[in-house]
Amino acid sequence: MKLAKGSTPWISVPIFLTAALAAVGNWQISALALAGSIFMIFFHRDPDRFPQGDGMLSPADGKVIEASADRVTVFMSPSNVHVNRAPLDGFVRNIEYRKGTHMPAFLNRARENQQNRMHLVTDDGEMELRQITGTLVRKIVCYVRPGDQVSRGERIGMIRFGSRVEVSIPSGYNLRVYEGDRVRAGETVIAARNS
C-alpha cells in the first residue's frame, strides 16, 4: 500500500510504541497502540488514481456539502483518503496561508478555519482551491509551490484528519455533482465545459 508523502513520523511512533509496550509485557495498552498504528496507516493511504472523462476533477475524497455554479465544497471524514489533487492542468500562481478558527469541518462556519488558499491559472481562467482544517490536529501539507505546473489529477497536498476542500468553478463550466454526492479525488468529474 502506498502511503502519503511525509507520513512516516505519524506511522512510526505508534508502531514503535506498540513494540515497546509488548516488549515489557503490557499487552492491553500495546493492543491500543496497535489499533492506533492500523488507523494511522489507513488514514495516510495514498492510492493511485486515474482521471475519468473530461472536465474538472474533484480535489478531494468525501461528501459534497456545497455545490453551486461557482464553488464545490467536499468534506473529508477520517475514513476518507486525505491526499488532495489538482482539478485541472495549471500553473500555481501563489499559495496563501491564513490563520483561522478551528470549527468542525462539516459546518459552514468552518470556511473561516485555518487554511491554505492556492491560486491556479488554467487554460479556462483562474481558480482558487482552499485546503481547510477541522477541529483536530489542523495540519495542512502542501506538495507544490508557487511557480509549479500541475497536471489534472496530480497530488498537490494533504490535510490531516477531519477537513474540507473548497474549489471555485471557472466560468464556462457546468456543475456535474450535487450536495450529498460522494466523490473521489483525481477521478470524479465535478464540472465540465459547456458544449
Contact 59, 159 (CB under 8 A): no
**Pairing mode of beta strands 125-133, 115-122:** antiparallel
Helices (H) and strands (E) in the chain, counts: 2, 14
All three cell numbers of 21: 509496550
**Phi and psi dihedrals of 20, rounded to 5?**
-65, -45
Instruction: Specify the DSSP class assigned to residue 113.
Output: B
Say how far apart CA 67 and CA 77 lie, in whole Å.
18
Is 77 tagged catalytic? no
Those residues with Cβ within 8 angstroms of residue 31's Cβ, 6 or more apart along the chain or in another chain:
none
Please name the residue that has the C-alpha cell 471555485.
168
Q: Which one is catalytic: 151, 163, 168, 171? A: 163
**Residues annotated catalytic, as ranges:** 163
